[in-house]
Amino acid sequence: MQRAYVEPSVINRVADLGFPADSVRDFVARHGFEPATGLHSVYELARSFLGGDAVSTARGRTLFILLRDLDPIYQPGPDDLLQSEVQKLRWKVPVVSFLDPLKVAATQNEVSRLAEGVFDTRARRFISAKEKEKEQALNAEENHVVLVRSFRKADRSIRGLKTFDHVWRYFESRGEIPLCIKEILGGAVSLDEAKELAACPSSFPAITAAVRANAYLNFIMISNATRPGKDKLDDYKHCFEASYCDAFITADRQQETAMRAICPKIPVFNWNNTLRTAVEAR
């Protein structure tokens, strides 16, 4: 069965409305999909516990009860998908776009513990590691904003890039897509390998999503001359995780817009437009 990636904003909306997870699962199934999500979703939802008081604990439990009962297919994290696609390029190894049984069992166990309100040292370490990665990415992004501002001042043509498509074509015309791939993969591929990856975007959907997400961040910086919101990097990681899915479900309009740019071939459903109406009619 085809997979529909359920983004965390949907879980939050379902919790706000007091619906059970079955209402979402049933709707997704009626449209021919199996619910899926990613490890980055687990991290985002687990942040609800960080308040450390009864209210935040209750909210966290509600979110994870929904996630547990939804029982989604879990996608590998963005880094794992990117590494798998490099292996596919080099060794023709097929990408396994779902977690292996041991990781599934470990993830389901952690989700069940959080549904019971068990937010212990292990869970805190998991979030702390993710927060550290995010802080490093934000620092790098801040440095990049400085460069974009200087380019905007020096090159009038950059100030004329008004849409994401304009920015994407600008990068393509300058031959910068392979260089972007090398940067995203931390120099793990040669320039020739990066050119191979750039030449077959549909064969490497996670790397393609990562490159387009990078271009989308640049589009926001160019059009606004400012750094995107701190949560944007988290939003785009869901696009990487969903790159092997067949549909994407969100309740966040900005996430919807970003997903349509980053993974244009994957249909996007907005909870507020479609799913919520259908569920409330039940």
Q: What is the H or E stretch that residue 249 is in?
A: strand 247-250
Looking at 37-46, 199-208, 267-276, which range is the least confident one?
A: 267-276
Mean pLDDT, range 182-193, rounded to an integer = 93
Q: Is the pLDDT of residue 145 over 60?
A: no
Confidence class for position 107, pLDDT limits 50, 70, 90: very high
> 131 vs 182, which has greater pLDDT?
182
Looking at 59-63, 84-88, 145-149, 202-206, which range is the least confident one?
A: 145-149
Mean pLDDT, range 17-43, rounded to an integer = 91
pLDDT of 194 reads: 96
pLDDT of 281 reads: 57
Q: Is the pLDDT of residue 139 over 90?
A: no
Burial letters for 67-84: b for 16+ Cβ neighbours within 10 Å, e otherwise?
bbebebbbbbbbebbbbb
SS3 18: coil
Q: Is the pLDDT of residue 146 over 60?
A: no
Q: Are 65 and 72 in contact (CB under 8 A)?
A: no
- Residue 275 DSSP class: I
Q: Are 40 and 78 in contact (CB under 8 A)?
A: yes
Q: Is the pLDDT of residue 214 over 90?
A: no
The token pair at 92 is 């023709």
| Whole-Å CA distances, 252 to 176, 181, 191 | 30, 28, 37
User: Average model confidence (pLDDT) for the chain?
Assistant: 88
Looking at the chain, the whole-number percentage of residues with pLDDT higher than 90 is 62
Q: What is the H or E stretch that residue 75 is in?
A: strand 73-75
